């Protein structure tokens, strides 16, 4: 049985945490100085573990094994949200590194080919899961043109600043991978609430969304009578209320929706707003439910536009992702490892968050493993997991990876 080194694992996670640390959290957005420092550090770690490390043209860090045979790829992402937690993505990246080292130290597994990777920009500074999409030929180089972050920084400039201009990309076509494993914190409350220590992911939610613009007539708040107003915010509130009233009627058990961005102009208390924006995102593992959400939205918009007030224009969000299903054979290997190390304390479950595995599974078999998030909190400086859950998760992943590779070599 492969034996991971828990202290080494935790030490590397804490070392990665220090790069961009602010309080208990981490600020390490894609292509930032801290992000590139972390990627260069990771490349050095890969080399020290016996891998050949490369940082490609979109910032992916790949460590390649010299062992013969079809390699199993293991990793996640090391970029963070603008105010991120220390384990989101980083957990799976360091798991990949530790599995490589643990297998190399075991005479029964040292011959098995395991590659490790840290994907770039999973957190959507410029384009969600950009690194894994580029690797899977779903983000062509010409797609870089015109992309900018929320502060107006062009992707081309960020690539140049990071020293990646004209650096070649790596793609899945360059390698004949057996598959991909990704470990992650759950980023939700279910494992902790159910007293489970490991989650084996069956499927990853798809997501859709709409961006709404509300156009009315800006006017004086004191002299414009209520009956004659074309208030952009009145239409916005009507739509938001309708969504919360109607979505539950068509939702699935694990459906969620979020109205996470609102803009009102000019944003002054004495002015009737003439313009507003609202962005809606919805998620479910069933594409039929996503279609129902979209149909509800269009019906609500048509109803509001039929009245004498501000008008609404609805456009699909830039990122629309279909639900993804994990490989059943890989799930079985991870499930057996989970039962061996946490008997009765694991569960099969869907993922409510999207992950790089949801992209990579379009070109190779994939599986995911979760550990509990304390309080269900993520995308926040308070994000955390217990040390014993962190080490347990890596041990389960290592054993599952070893049996996947052993089965493939027979």
Reported as a single tens digit per residue, the pLDDT across 344-400 is 999 999 999 999 999 999 999 999 999 999 999 999 999 999 999 999 999 999 999
- Residue 38 sits at the vertex; the CA angle it makes with 32 and 40, to the nearest 5 degrees, is 105
* Distance from C-alpha of 59 to C-alpha of 90, rounded to nearest angstrom: 15
CA atoms within 13 A on the CB side of 349: 24
* Distance from C-alpha of 35 to C-alpha of 29, rounded to nearest angstrom: 6
- Matching residue, tokens 């992707």: 155
Q: Which residues pair with 127 in a beta bridge?
A: none
The helix/strand/coil state of 150 is coil
pLDDT of residue 206: 94
Tell me the average pLDDT across 223-251. Answer: 98
Q: Tell me how crowded residue 344 is: count the other CB atoms within 10 A of its CB.
A: 10
The region of weakest confidence among 297-306, 314-323, 386-395 is 314-323
Instruction: Give the pairing type, strands 52-55 and 72-77.
Output: unpaired
Note the pTM of the prediction, 2 decimals.
0.90
Alpha-carbon dihedral sign for residues 153, 159, 161, 165: negative
User: With contact defined as beta carbons under 8 Å apart, do 185 and 371 qualify?
Assistant: yes
The region of weakest confidence among 137-146, 196-205, 229-238 is 137-146
* Distance from C-alpha of 361 to C-alpha of 161, rounded to nearest angstrom: 31
Helix (H) or strand (E) holding 303: helix 287-305
Q: Which residues pair with 72 in a beta bridge?
A: 114, 179
Tell me the average pLDDT across 47-63. Answer: 99
Is the domain 6-204+323-409 a CATH 3.10.28.10 member?
no
Nearest 5°: phi and psi at 400? -60, -40
pLDDT of residue 284: 96
User: With contact defined as beta carbons under 8 Å apart, do 98 and 12 qualify?
Assistant: yes
Helix (H) or strand (E) holding 155: helix 155-161
* Distance from C-alpha of 82 to C-alpha of 381, rounded to nearest angstrom: 10
Diameter over CA atoms, the chain: 83
Q: Tell me how crowded residue 195 is: count the other CB atoms within 10 A of its CB.
A: 10
Q: Enumerate the CATH 3.30.70.360 domain ranges in the chain, comma separated.
A: 206-316
pLDDT of residue 198: 99
- What six digits make up the tokens of 198? 């490991």
Q: Enumerate the CATH 3.40.630.10 domain ranges in the chain, comma separated.
A: 6-204+323-409
Instruction: Give the pairing type, strands 256-265 and 275-284.
Output: antiparallel
pLDDT of residue 190: 96
- What six digits make up the tokens of 352? 């409510």
Question: Band of the pLDDT at 321, cuts 50, 70, 90?
Answer: confident
Measured in residues, the chain has a length of: 410
The third-level CATH classification (topology) of the domain covering 206-316 is Alpha-Beta Plaits (3.30.70)
* Distance from C-alpha of 382 to C-alpha of 378, rounded to nearest angstrom: 7
Nearest 5°: phi and psi at 43? -60, -40
Question: Would you say residue 162 has pLDDT above 90?
Answer: yes
* Distance from C-alpha of 341 to C-alpha of 1, rounded to nearest angstrom: 11
Question: Would you say residue 319 has pLDDT above 80?
Answer: no
User: With contact defined as beta carbons under 8 Å apart, do 103 and 395 qualify?
Assistant: no
Residue 75: is it exposed, middle or buried by C-beta count within 10 angstroms (0-12/13-18/19+)?
Answer: buried
């Amino acid at each position: 049985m492969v034996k991971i080194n828990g202290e080494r694992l935790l030490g590397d996670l804490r070392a990665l945490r220090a790069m961009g640390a602010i309080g208990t959290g981490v600020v390490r957005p894609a292509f930032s100085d801290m992000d590139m420092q972390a990627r260069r550090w990771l490349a050095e770690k890969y080399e020290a573990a016996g891998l050949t490390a490369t940082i490609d043209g979109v910032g992916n860090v790949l460590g390649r094994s010299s062992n013969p045979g079809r390699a199993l790829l293991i990793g996640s992402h090391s970029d963070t949200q603008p105010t991120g937690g220390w384990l989101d993505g980083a957990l799976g990246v360091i798991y990949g590194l530790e599995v490589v080292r643990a297998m190399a130290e075991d005479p029964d597994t040292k011959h098995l080919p395991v590659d490790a990777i840290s994907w770039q920009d999973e957190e959507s500074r410029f384009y969600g899961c950009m690194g894994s999409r580029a690797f899977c030929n779903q983000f062509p180089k010409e797609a870089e043109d015109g992309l900018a972050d929320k502060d107006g920084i062009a992707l081309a400039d960020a690539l140049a600043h990071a020293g990646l201009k004209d650096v070649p990309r790596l793609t899945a076509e360059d390698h004949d991978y057996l598959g991909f494993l990704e470990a992650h914190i759950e980023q939700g409350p279910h494992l902790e609430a159910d007293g489970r220590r490991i989650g084996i992911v069956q499927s990853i939610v798809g997501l859709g969304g709409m961006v709404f613009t509300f156009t009315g007539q800006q006017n004086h708040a004191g002299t414009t009578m209520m009956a004659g107003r074309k208030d952009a915010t009145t239409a916005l509130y009507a739509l938001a209320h309708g969504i919360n009233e109607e979505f539950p009627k068509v939702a699935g058990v694990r459906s969620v929706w979020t109205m996470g961005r609102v803009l009102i102009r000019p944003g002054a208390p004495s002015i009737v707003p003439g313009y507003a924006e609202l962005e809606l995102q919805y998620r479910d593992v069933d594409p039929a439910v996503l279609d129902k959400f979209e149909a509800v939205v269009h019906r609500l918009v048509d109803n509001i536009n039929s009245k004498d007030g501000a008008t609404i224009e609805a456009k699909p969000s830039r990122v629309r992702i279909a639900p993804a299903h994990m490989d059943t054979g890989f799930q079985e290997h991870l499930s057996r490892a989970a039962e061996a190390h946490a008997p009765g304390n694991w569960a099969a479950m869907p993922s409510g968050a999207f992950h790089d595995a949801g992209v990579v599974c379009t070109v190779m078999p994939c599986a995911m493993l979760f550990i509990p998030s304390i309080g269900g909190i993520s995308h926040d400086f308070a994000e955390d997991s217990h040390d014993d859950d962190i080490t347990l998760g890596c041990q389960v992943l290592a054993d599952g990876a070893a049996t996947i590779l052993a089965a493939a070599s027979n």
